[in-house]
């Protein structure tokens, strides 16, 4: 139906019937944007405005001094901030890449392959969804220690490769891929890796994008590995460095440094969600459709 009582449904141009939605959604959108704007503005405030009372939301005299102090500041052991940031970038990229590959391959096997204990393994994965990271901290440490991964970069990566919620999402998406499509590819001579990367992967791209976001947030913001598994300061992450800023930076300057570091931690999360939010919405809309 193109219209109802003279009002177009989803008009291509602005229509006065849309005003009621703007009146409701614009204030809500601005309210939700305020925390994001506050994090950004706080990083550019000079010390005089950071300690101003009553506090001001907007910055009057923006400055880059907080970032300059951040890059000049080293931890108590003398390790520069750039080393922590470099570690976080490398660890995050490596973890996301391996997580996507493992999740896609495992989801494909659980969905399209036939083998013993297939249903049992998937039920174990579903059971793992009930456990939070804190509940498995001790078993995870025992595994890392037994494998001899303590005080290595692998200790940052290995514990985060298993993502039960990501496997569940990807497996549910692969279930919707027609078996006939895979059989046709096999007849044409394609092996499992070709089918996985060239056919199944692109078809479940929304689910993989969601897994990438979840994996990024988990590893980028994590301090567990640096606190528990790693002793060498040069192998710790930027998130861990964030927790040491208050004690490492004496005086009021530490507040400005923390604000600048907080913005650096926050921006990648915001950017990756903005870039992939369309795929995330597709994942949420398809997750309940069979």
Place of tokens 């999402």: 169
Helix ranges (H only) for 176-237 are 179-187, 192-194, 201-203, 205-220, 224-228
Within 8 A by CB and 6+ apart from 207, the residues are 169, 170, 172, 173, 283
Location of structure tokens 């497996």 = 171
Runs of H (alpha helix) within the chain = 19-43, 47-50, 65-72, 81-112, 118-128, 137-146, 154-157, 164-175, 179-187, 192-194, 201-203, 205-220, 224-228, 238-248, 253-287
Q: Is the peptide bond before 54 cis (omega within 30 degrees of 0)?
A: yes
pLDDT at 240: 86
81-287, CATH topology level: MetI-like fold (1.10.3720)
- Antiparallel, parallel or unpaired: β 7-8 and 3-4: antiparallel
- Please identify every stretch of the chain with a pLDDT value under 50, giving residue numbers as ranges: 1-7, 288-290
Q: What is the pLDDT of residues 159-176, one digit of tens each?
A: 888 888 888 888 888 888
**Considering the entire predicted model, what is its pTM?**
0.77
Q: What's the pLDDT score for residue 253?
A: 61
Secondary structure (3-state) at 134: helix
Domain residue ranges of the chain, discontinuous segments joined by +: 81-287
pLDDT tens digits, 39-95: 888 888 887 777 777 777 888 888 888 888 777 766 555 778 788 889 999 999 999
């Amino acid at each position: 139906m193109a219209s109802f009582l003279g009002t177009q449904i989803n008009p291509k141009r602005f229509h006065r019937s849309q005003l009621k939605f703007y009146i409701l959604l614009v204030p809500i959108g601005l309210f939700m944007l305020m925390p994001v704007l506050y994090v950004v503005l706080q990083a550019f405030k000079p010390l005089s405005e950071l300690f101003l009372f009553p506090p001001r939301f907007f910055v009057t005299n923006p400055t880059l001094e907080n970032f300059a102090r951040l890059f000049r500041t080293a931890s108590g052991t003398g390790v520069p901030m750039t080393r922590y940031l470099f570690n976080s970038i490398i660890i995050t990229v490596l973890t996301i890449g391996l997580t996507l590959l493992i999740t896609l391959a495992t989801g494909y096997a659980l969905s399209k392959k036939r083998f013993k204990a297939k249903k049992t393994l998937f039920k174990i994965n579903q059971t793992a969804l009930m456990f939070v990271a804190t509940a498995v901290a001790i078993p995870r440490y025992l595994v890392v220690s037994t494998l001899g991964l303590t005080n290595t970069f692998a200790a940052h990566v290995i514990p985060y490769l298993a993502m039960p919620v990501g496997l569940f999402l990807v497996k549910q998406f692969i279930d919707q891929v027609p078996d006939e499509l895979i059989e046709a590819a096999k007849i044409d001579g394609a092996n499992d890796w070709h089918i996985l990367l060239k056919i199944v992967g692109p078809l479940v791209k929304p689910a993989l994008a969601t897994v990438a976001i979840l994996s990024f947030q988990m590893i980028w913001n994590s301090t567990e590995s640096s606190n528990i598994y790693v002793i060498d300061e040069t192998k710790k992450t930027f998130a861990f460095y964030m927790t040491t800023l208050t004690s490492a930076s004496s005086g009021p300057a530490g507040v400005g440094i923390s604000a600048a570091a907080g913005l650096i931690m926050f921006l990648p999360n915001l950017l990756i969600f903005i870039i992939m939010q369309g795929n995330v919405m597709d994942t949420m809309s398809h997750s309940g459709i069979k």
